[in-house]
Amino acid sequence: MGRPPAVTGAPGAVGDTATTRRDTTARVLHGVVAACAVAGVGIEVARALAAGDAASAQRLVRLVGYFTIWTNVLVAGVSTLLVIRPRHDGPVFRALRLDTLLFVVVTAVTAHLVLAPYTAPDLAGRLADVLTHTVVPLATVVVWAAVGPRPRIAWRTCADALLLPAVWLVWTFVRGPALGWYPYPFLDAERLGTARALAGAGVVVALGTLLGAVLRGVDRTLPNAPR
């Protein structure tokens, strides 16, 4: 009698290998995004510290008020978590992951359409500007589309994701009078008046709400990831 053909691989083992490969790809991509965000923020901190004692303190205080810095710190944190657990889930995580997408879109649009043109006077500043306003926003969206995790956006997620932007706006309007400085001209209550500045903030929240709904639709349309 002939010997039965050798089994080259069990279906379960093949599936496990494919899953591991997808998770590895996701980890690498999330790691690249995190590294870019950390680099951009790190350069900005280094530039602030290089300004001198009094100037450094002022620049650092102002630095933590920028929405761009909040965006990149958030992206770095969420992406690092996804390096560790590329299939991570949970209500808090879902809101923060959606926030990364909302924040990067708002950051990129504001930088390139509302505040442009702006060019930093030094090479390090220009590099940080490209990283924080262009590379990280683009990479965050592309990597989310490629490796998720998805699906993660429900209507409750869209509502929860508005909490962090609201915190930043309150932080901005509380700090503004104390510092005599606002991070963006369309939120400058001293120059525009409180009503116009709050109206500008309302527009940002409304656009964030609309964008969240759009991203929910995209999240449900794209295939699950990682698979």
Q: Confirm if 94 and 159 have CB atoms less than 8 A apart.
A: no
Say what the pLDDT of residue 114 is. 85
Among 90, 173, 178, 98, smallest CA distance to 141 is for 98
Say what the pLDDT of residue 14 is. 54
pLDDT higher than threshold 80 for residue 198: yes
Say what the pLDDT of residue 10 is. 54
pLDDT higher than threshold 90 for residue 95: yes
Say what the pLDDT of residue 120 is. 76
Say what the pLDDT of residue 162 is. 96
Tell me the two tokens of residue 111. 């930088």
pLDDT-derived band at 21, boundaries 50, 70, 90: very high
Q: What is the pLDDT of residues 102-132, one digit of tens each?
A: 999 999 999 998 887 777 788 999 999 999 9
Within 10 Å of residue 101's Cβ, how many Cβ atoms?
Answer: 23
Question: Mean pLDDT score of the chain, rounded to an integer?
Answer: 91
The three-state secondary structure class of 101 is helix
The three-state secondary structure class of 150 is strand
Say what the pLDDT of residue 8 is. 52
pLDDT-derived band at 39, boundaries 50, 70, 90: very high
Token look-up 């602030």 returns: 48
The winner for highest mean pLDDT among 9-13, 158-162, 199-203 is 158-162
pLDDT higher than threshold 90 for residue 77: yes
Say what the pLDDT of residue 160 is. 97
Calculate helix-pair angle for 163-179, 91-109, nearest 10 degrees.
50
pLDDT-derived band at 221, boundaries 50, 70, 90: very high
Q: Confirm if 182 and 190 have CB atoms less than 8 A apart.
A: yes
